[in-house]
Structure 1
Amino acid sequence: MPQDLPGFYYDAEKNRYFPIKSPIPGSSSRNSSSASTSAQKLPAKPIKAKSGDRGIAAKVVKMLHKRELSGNSITSNKKKVNFQDQYQKLQTSKPIIWKYQGTQRIADAALEHIRLNLQTPDGLTETDILLTGGLNGTFCCYEVGSVEHHAINGLQCMPDLVKPLNTEKETSSLKSPGLIWRPIGALVQMPSNVSCIKTPRNHHYQATDADSSPSHALITTLGSETSGGSVYSMNLKEPLEYGLGVAMLSQRIDEISRFKSTVWTADFNSNKHQAVIGTNIGAALVHIESGKKTWICRSKSDVLCLQFDSSGNNVLCGLRNGGIVTVDTRQKPQNLQDQFPRHRISFSSTKGQKHEKQWFEIRGNVHHNKTISMPSSISCLSRLKTYDDYFLASSMDGTVRLYDCRLREKGAVLQFYEGHVNSHTRIQIGVDPSERFFMSGGEDCCLRVWSIKSGEMLYEDKFMDSVASSVCNRFGGAWLGSQEGLFYMNNNL
């Protein structure tokens, strides 16, 4: 039987392929019907190609495969585009979205999806675990997916289909992501609001590798009016035990460091067993095992978000005043503020319609040539693993940009992204594992998805009544958290 080729149909009477003239992907129903009519003309037994033509046919198949799947072979907006890119954009623009019952206010601060070993009555099995943190101080552990066989006690949360709603698309292909299950005792009330949950960054891209299972998860709390925030470590070295390890969640969590200041964020350096903590007075390194704390920079402007680079030697810090600075962690330990080198860094300030150049002081081993300024407080930073000097940054005035920190003197901006809505909220950016797309909620309660490369907005919709402030991407989909509850977005990739 002749091989099916994307964009072509085979006419057995003429013993050759003919192109489907409608655009691919997304051909119109008219052309689709004509193609199906032609397909109906095919006899039950196709005409066999002559033996001398087999070599030519094989070359044609190879050329068409290369053209359709590897080359810029589709015309869109009067230019040639890549077939695979266009197909992925189409899939991303038509997600399937589910909302979980009974999950209000449990994931509006932080989300992490990990894959761990779970000891069940039937033996050791690998399972998906969702860690959630709420602005009300709750920290929860959920098992995801095929848990019906042992989810006896505890809270079961079922998903309801949110998008699409039209019955034509509600078919068996819209497979449910399955229930999530929280055993009794798998909820811990932290001393103050959860501000961050982190696992080693490389784990998200090696979820199928048994050796990639994280040994710890970091949880930070914001602090209160009477006390500062804290850093906690959740032990994941030993398999979770059904009915015991998960249910006794509090026994796996230890406070490793306490601050007198507000703790906004954290990141994990698994290579050196370190965490970097962002506070309202600067950033500090904390050793996971010993809890030893070492300040790496001090600033009067809060460090609202930060991230290690791939080497673990530098930390990208986003400040409340809109500054983005890179701090080298390889300096000698310094604990006294007056021992840090001082730097005076310029940033742009907007007052009304006037743009003014101002200065702020920061102490630490800061790279001046990698300092960048955004119009407002930094809401989120996300480095790209493919290109370590590239990072996405969003600020609280709705600005979202892609930067190359090596090009500061030339402007550093590689791409702008329009349409984001924010004024004062800390909203996370979620980058898909392939680093082709990213998503973010907005203060207008819409979720938006952009192409990282082109800047094109691929999806925009309002399907919740609160801000999707937390997001955790995984292969094939993403978890979204808001005050309204927990959502799962499946983009079929």
Structure 2
Amino acid sequence: MPQELPGFYFDKERNRYFPIKGPVPGSNAPNTASHNQGPKPKPKRTNDESNLCQRKRINSSELLQFRELYGKVLILSKRKSNFQQEYQKLQASQPVAWKYQGTDCHADGALEQFHADIQTPHGQKGTNILLTGSVTGSLSLYEVVEVGEHFDQGVTCIPNRVWPLITEREGECGSASGEIRSSTEASTSLPSSISCIKRIGKHSPDTAGDGSSLQHALVTTLGSGMSGGSVYTVNLNEPLDFCLSIPINRRIFKIASLNCTIWTADCNSDGKRAVLGTNHGAALIDLESGLQSWVCRSKSDIFSQQFDQSGNIVLCGFRNGAIVEIDVRQRQRSMAQSTGLPRHRIAFASNKIREPQSRHGQSLTKQYFELKGNLKPSNAINMSSAVCSLVLLQSDDKYFLASSMDGFIKLYDRRLIDRGAVQSYKGHMNTHTHLQLGVDPSESLVMSGGEDCCVRIWSIKTGELLFGTSISDTVVSTVCWAQTGELQEYSDERHRYKGILFEQNHSWGAWLGSREGLFYMHAS
């Protein structure tokens, strides 16, 4: 007699088990109960049941019950969705946030997470580290410590829960967040504000075992009135040891200095070149030789940039609201020569200059600026204000998110530029601050801080605002989603890292930085 397995039924004719699919009860799929009793009528869905997936009214157990009754495909407000998406939205609408003591003024300029080897009293291990930069020029390293680990050396930053409040939903907040550890030698000061921190290269199966290391970080400084910005690399390949007094200065190497302001930067996929967004245009720099060349010249500052997956196109967001794709495959000009770059006139929105009224009686707003570079003017996009953040989706880089300083966040399709944005995200608050967008690894959620000190989370697909609450007394300006999944093996195959405590206990998490300090937000 075949044993009964939960979620499966046994077909006597085929002599094998099959999964039970579809709505339960009322499914037409054969199972033991249906053969004996016949199919049960499918229950009618009431209006209250149809609204079960309104995230502010239900908890996870009710959503699980909803799936058991009606299957994985859910009908919500006359649209179809699936259980996984709705459960993720539910978690995003009820997050838990922690603030770390002693981290004030450390991560309000730039923030990035890396994987690295670290030396402990019990030997080397793979772990997650945070590299943070401040607007005062401070650059710091933090180790993410699992709960239960204790060390005599170093400074441990303990988290305090800031949302939800201690008196609210105490039983639903889950376990405490882990700690982070640093030391006085793991921090240094650079000449001016840290404007960007990015990974150099990416881990891939092809490079994991060939002896090459991609554990480096790109760091840029903004520059000051006395001098321009600078480009540095930070070597994270050598094992870190917070117990020894080895200053971080020994890991920092200066690549180049420019006679202009460096607002942003990005690296191509092989880690050999970086593009810099400056107040004079876009500059390409060879990270091995330090050679620099112009790929774009403009009088409008470039506030945001990102390479596409091919490494041939750079998406640039300008102060005047234009978004332009620059092709970097053509022969570039030296920093002293840019006359050979082709000239273009690019339209952008302007609130200062208004053309005479059209025959329809509407006031038109249009202005042009000159741009030198290899590009297609027809592919340019116009946002209503300075473009402070750009994020190309890794699953399909034909789509990208853009945020402007007047509070608009939009999703664009690079193939359908003439049709405008394909999705908009409402509720963001910004007027003049350089705020960063963060996208989770599954590319389902987008997060940003606002000038009202609130952190907001939207569904990328639907544009729905899932969460919006103040967790800090200052503006949250930097966002870095915690990585999940398993690292590729290091070259000596000594370690295989399978995620830190945060990813093990929570389905998603993100690091946030403000002048008040470092925060960690995760699913409840």
Fold-level similarity (TM above 0.5): yes
Task: Summarize the alignment of residues 16-55 of structure 1 with structure 2, pairs less than 5 Å apart.
Answer: 22=49, 25=53
Give the direction of change, closer, same or farther, for the CA distance of 1:371–1:29 in structure 2 (3 Å limit): closer
Q: 2:413 aligns with which of 404, 409, 426?
A: 404
8 Å contact 1:115–1:213 — kept in the other structure? no
Task: Summarize the alignment of residues 351-370 of structure 1 with structure 2, pairs less than 5 Å apart.
Answer: 351=352, 355-370=364-379
User: Residue in 2 aligned with 1:265?
Assistant: 264
- Following superposition, the deviation at residue 454 of structure 1 comes to 0.7
Unaligned runs of 5+ in 1: 37-63
Matched position secondary structure for 1:312 = coil
Matched position secondary structure for 1:306 = strand
Aligned length: 454
User: Residue in 2 aligned with 1:343?
Assistant: 344
2: CA distance between counterparts of 1:29 and 1:106?
A: 38
8 Å contact 1:147–1:180 — kept in the other structure? no
- Following superposition, the deviation at residue 3 of structure 1 comes to 3.1
User: Residue in 2 aligned with 1:78?
Assistant: 78
User: Residue in 2 aligned with 1:330?
Assistant: 329
8 Å contact 2:202–2:270 — kept in the other structure? no
- Following superposition, the deviation at residue 242 of structure 1 comes to 4.3
TM-score, reference length from structure 2: 0.79
User: Residue in 2 aligned with 1:489?
Assistant: 521
- Following superposition, the deviation at residue 228 of structure 1 comes to 0.4
Q: Deviations over 1:367-402 (max 9, x none)?
A: 223211100011100000111111000111111110
Matching of residue 68 in structure 1 with residue 71 in structure 2: yes
Matched position secondary structure for 1:171 = helix
Give the direction of change, closer, same or farther, for the CA distance of 1:83–1:491 in structure 2 (3 Å limit): same
Give the direction of change, closer, same or farther, for the CA distance of 1:172–1:394 in structure 2 (3 Å limit): closer
2: CA distance between counterparts of 1:202 and 1:67?
A: 42
Give the direction of change, closer, same or farther, for the CA distance of 1:148–1:29 in structure 2 (3 Å limit): closer
Give the direction of change, closer, same or farther, for the CA distance of 1:399–1:213 in structure 2 (3 Å limit): farther
2: CA distance between counterparts of 1:166 and 1:177?
A: 14
Give the direction of change, closer, same or farther, for the CA distance of 1:26–1:389 in structure 2 (3 Å limit): closer
8 Å contact 1:147–1:181 — kept in the other structure? no
Coordinate RMSD, CA, aligned:
3.2
User: Residue in 1 aligned with 2:498?
Assistant: none
- Following superposition, the deviation at residue 466 of structure 1 comes to 1.1
Task: Summarize the alignment of residues 64-463 of structure 1 with structure 2, pairs less than 5 Å apart.
Answer: 68-69=71-72, 72=73, 74-146=74-146, 149=149, 151-165=151-165, 167=167, 169-171=169-171, 174-200=174-200, 202=202, 214-244=214-244, 247-271=246-270, 273-335=272-334, 336-351=337-352, 355-411=364-420, 413-463=421-471
Aligned amino acid, residue 433 of structure 1: P
1: CA distance between counterparts of 2:147 and 2:94?
A: 28
Q: Deviations over 1:206-237 (max 9, x none)?
A: 9xx89997331011111111000100000122
Q: Percent identity?
A: 47
8 Å contact 1:151–1:181 — kept in the other structure? no
Give the direction of change, closer, same or farther, for the CA distance of 1:7–1:409 in structure 2 (3 Å limit): closer
Q: Deviations over 1:7-34 (max 9, x none)?
A: 9689x9x98999797455579899x89x
Matched position secondary structure for 2:395 = coil
2: CA distance between counterparts of 1:7 and 1:409?
A: 43
2: CA distance between counterparts of 1:167 and 1:442?
A: 26
8 Å contact 1:348–1:358 — kept in the other structure? yes
- Following superposition, the deviation at residue 323 of structure 1 comes to 0.7
2: CA distance between counterparts of 1:428 and 1:282?
A: 20
Matched position secondary structure for 1:227 = coil
Matched position secondary structure for 1:406 = coil
2: CA distance between counterparts of 1:330 and 1:387?
A: 21
Unaligned runs of 5+ in 2: 8-19, 27-32, 355-362, 485-507
- Following superposition, the deviation at residue 406 of structure 1 comes to 1.8
- Following superposition, the deviation at residue 349 of structure 1 comes to 1.0
- Following superposition, the deviation at residue 162 of structure 1 comes to 1.3
- Following superposition, the deviation at residue 292 of structure 1 comes to 1.2
Give the direction of change, closer, same or farther, for the CA distance of 1:144–1:306 in structure 2 (3 Å limit): same
- Following superposition, the deviation at residue 491 of structure 1 comes to 1.9
Aligned amino acid, residue 248 of structure 1: P
User: Residue in 2 aligned with 1:61?
Assistant: none
TM-score, reference length from structure 1: 0.84
- Following superposition, the deviation at residue 183 of structure 1 comes to 1.9
Aligned amino acid, residue 108 of structure 1: D
Give the direction of change, closer, same or farther, for the CA distance of 1:355–1:175 in structure 2 (3 Å limit): farther
